[in-house]
């Protein structure tokens, strides 16, 4: 696996947004063979626009190639805000394919805006 928790990446080919935007790698999903990444709005991380994306390795690259300074800044923010044990049940998950963005799973639990739920490590 090329990427690990905390890496700041972007989806190549602009499948998610019109221009590259940073996302944090949370984990590698064995079931789908894709990385689970969290993406949020730049000015209010954790708001209701915060989503999870399943993205294959060949569609990811390090965000520092786009903007090194911003990548370092956003890494400090995201790594402190989105822990390894983030509870993914509270977030919509989208599957990014070569051609489109598909609903993979809707959030199964509700959360307060800006609240980042976690699961206890076992």
Number of helices followed by number of strands (H, E) in the chain? 1, 7
Mean pLDDT of the chain: 88
Question: pTM of the entire structure?
Answer: 0.88
Q: Give 52's pLDDT tier (boundaries 50, 70, 90).
A: very high
**Residue range 70-98: average pLDDT?**
91
pLDDT at 94 over 50: yes
pLDDT greater than 90 at residue 122:
no
What does the alpha-carbon distance between residue 31 and residue 42 come to, in Å, rounded to a whole number?
A: 30
Average pLDDT over residues 25-34: 96
Over range 3-24, report the average pLDDT.
84
């Amino acid at each position: 696996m090329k990427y690990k928790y905390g890496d700041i990446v972007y989806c190549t080919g602009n499948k998610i947004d019109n221009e590259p935007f940073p996302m944090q790698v949370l984990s590698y999903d064995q079931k789908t063979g894709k990385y689970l990444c969290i993406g949020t709005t730049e000015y209010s991380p954790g708001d209701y626009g915060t989503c999870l994306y399943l993205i294959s390795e060949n569609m990811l690259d390090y965000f520092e190639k786009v903007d090194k300074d911003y990548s370092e800044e956003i890494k400090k923010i995201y790594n402190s805000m989105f822990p390894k044990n983030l509870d993914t049940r509270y977030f919509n998950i989208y599957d990014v394919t070569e051609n489109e963005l598909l609903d993979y799973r809707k959030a199964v639990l509700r959360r307060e805006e800006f609240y980042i739920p976690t699961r206890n490590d076992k």
